[in-house]
Structure 1
Amino acid sequence: MFDAHLGEESAAAAVDLDAYFKRIGYDGPRDPTLATLRAIAQKHPDAIPFENMDVLLGRGISLVPADIDAKLIGAGRGGYCYEQNGLLKRVLETLGFQVEGLMARVKWMLPEEAAPRPRSHQVLGVQLEGETWLVDAGFGGCVLTAPLRLFSDEIQDSPNGKFRIVDTQTNGVPERQVQADLSGRWAALYQVSKGAWAEIDYEQANYFTYTHPSSHFTWSLTVGRTTPTARYALKNNRFTHRDVTGAVVEQRDLSAAELEATLRDVIGLPVETDWKPVLEQVVAWGTPA
Structure 2
Amino acid sequence: MTSPQSATAPAGDDTGVDTDKAQWQTADLDLSAYLDRIGYDGPRTATLDTLRAVHRAHMSTLSFTNLDLFLGRGNDLEMRNLADRIVGARRGGYCFEQNLLLAAALEGLGFSVDRQLARVRRGSTKVRARTHAVLLVESDGRRWLADVGFGDEGLIEPIPFEDGAELTVGEWTWRVDLDGDEWVLRSRHPDRWFDVYSLRLEHHFRADFDEANHFTATYPLSTFVGRLIAQRGDDRIRQTLLNRELTTQYPDGRRETRELSDAEVVTALRDVFHLGVTGEDEAPLRAALDAARPRRS
TM-score range normalised by the length of the shorter chain? 0.7 to 0.9
C-alpha displacement of 1:148: 0.7
Partner in structure 1 of residue 6 of structure 2: none
**Structure-2 separation of matches of 1:252 and 1:280:** 20
**Structure-2 separation of matches of 1:7 and 1:236:** 38
Partner in structure 2 of residue 250 of structure 1: 256
Match of 1:271 among 272, 277, 289: 277
Alignment of 1:131 onto 2:142: yes
Partner in structure 2 of residue 92 of structure 1: 106
- The 3 A distance-change label for structure 1 pair 236 and 227 is same
C-alpha displacement of 1:192: 1.8
**Structure-1 separation of matches of 2:166 and 2:113:** 23
**Structure-2 separation of matches of 1:177 and 1:10:** 25
Match of 1:68 among 56, 73, 82: 82
Which secondary structure state, in structure 2, belongs to the residue aligned with residue 269 of structure 1?
Answer: coil
Partner in structure 2 of residue 161 of structure 1: 172
Identity within the alignment, %: 36
Which secondary structure state, in structure 2, belongs to the residue aligned with residue 141 of structure 1?
Answer: coil
Partner in structure 1 of residue 5 of structure 2: none
C-alpha RMSD of matched pairs (Å): 2.3
Partner in structure 1 of residue 3 of structure 2: none
**Structure-1 separation of matches of 2:31 and 2:248:** 31
Match of 2:248 among 220, 229, 241: 241
Alignment of 1:288 onto 2:296: yes
Partner in structure 2 of residue 34 of structure 1: 48
**Structure-2 separation of matches of 1:90 and 1:251:** 36
**Structure-1 separation of matches of 2:259 and 2:189:** 21
What pairs up with 1:206-225 in 2 under 5 angstroms?
206-225=213-232
C-alpha displacement of 1:88: 0.4
Partner in structure 2 of residue 10 of structure 1: 24
| TM-score, scaled to structure 1 | 0.87
C-alpha displacement of 1:200: 2.8
- Confirm or deny: 8 A CA contact 2:26 2:105 kept in the other structure: no
In the alignment of these two chains, the number of paired residues is 277
| TM-score, scaled to structure 2 | 0.85
Long gaps (5+) in structure 2: 1-18
